[in-house]
Amino acid sequence: MRITILGGTGYAGSAIVREAASRGHEVTSLSRSAADAPVPGVRYHLGSVLEEEVRAAAIDGAEVVISAISPRGPLAGRTREVLARTADAVAASGQRLGVIGGAGSLRVVEGGPRLVEDPGFPAAFREEALEMGGVLEDLGARGDELAWFFVSPAAGFGAHSPGEARGTFRIGGDVLLVDDAGVSALSAPDLASAVLDEVEAPAHTGARFTVAY
């Protein structure tokens, strides 16, 4: 399968690139920075997703486009617009779009408040979480015109807490998953496995799902 990953050299993106390549897919990565350890066979494009021509060239010919970009740095406050335009292009081409979002838009409990609304949610990440929540809202408003899925990793997911690949994980819906100790964690390789499982055997088209241990 031809897969393009936007933000393919970041923490989540690079893991998805490696997993996709290991499964024999034809992989293209678009990012502003070069890969620290390029994966053999992967096509790496350097450029900004903010530039429409660069973005269009990267997704041209792909069957699945996966966004692993985050609203940080130059993308802060602009990620929602970029992904809306990307979704337009993907819908017009009949491709499938996957978006890696954060945990902030997950419900703490069924029918309860979102994690980002919790008083203890880190203020430094609040705007980022709200913007990715907006991306999810935009995708949900598209109806059947676009085949999409949105993945919310565990609350503790990130380079600050990499963990180790376990090869097993749980899949949930809109409610935060925690273990018996109340911890919500996930490694990048296991997130990548869940994403590629969804790419190869779609089970959440037009929906968000969460992944955690």
pLDDT (0 to 100) of residue 94: 96
Give which of 7, 37, 28 is closest to 99, Cα–Cα: 7
**184: which DSSP letter?**
-
Residue span of the structural domain in which 11 resides:
2-212
> What integer best gives the mean pLDDT of the chain?
97
β partners of residue 148: 97
The stretch 24-47 carries a mean pLDDT of 97
pLDDT (0 to 100) of residue 165: 95
pLDDT (0 to 100) of residue 186: 98
Q: Using 50, 70 and 90 to split pLDDT, how confident is the model at 45? A: very high
The stretch 49-59 carries a mean pLDDT of 96
CATH number at 30 reads 3.40.50.720
pLDDT (0 to 100) of residue 26: 98
Which backbone phi and psi does 32 adopt, to 5 degrees? -80, -20
Helix (H/G/I), strand (E/B), else coil: 141: coil
Query: What's the number of domains the chain is made of?
Result: 1
Helix (H/G/I), strand (E/B), else coil: 56: helix
Q: Using 50, 70 and 90 to split pLDDT, how confident is the model at 48? A: very high
pLDDT (0 to 100) of residue 194: 98
CA distances from 172 to 31, 107, 162, 169, 179 (A): 29, 11, 21, 10, 13
Helical axes 11-22 vs 188-200, angle rounded to 10°? 50
The stretch 41-67 carries a mean pLDDT of 97
pLDDT in tens, 161-190: 999 999 999 999 999 999 999 999 999 999
- Residue 179 has a CB neighbour count (10 Å cut-off) of 12
pLDDT in tens, 93-148: 999 999 999 999 999 999 999 999 999 999 999 999 999 999 999 999 998 999 99
pLDDT (0 to 100) of residue 206: 98
pLDDT in tens, 9-29: 999 999 999 999 999 999 999
Radius of gyration of the chain (CA): 16
- Kindly tell me the burial class for residue 57, based on how many C-beta atoms sit within 10 Å of its own C-beta (0-12, 13-18, 19 or more): middle
- Residue 143 has a CB neighbour count (10 Å cut-off) of 7
Give which of 208, 213, 138 is closest to 174, Cα–Cα: 208
Tokens of 110: 């069924």
Tokens of 116: 């980002």
Task: Report how far residue 133's alpha carbon sits from residue 61's, in angstroms, rounded to the nearest whole number.
Answer: 28
Give which of 106, 34, 102 is closest to 67, Cα–Cα: 102
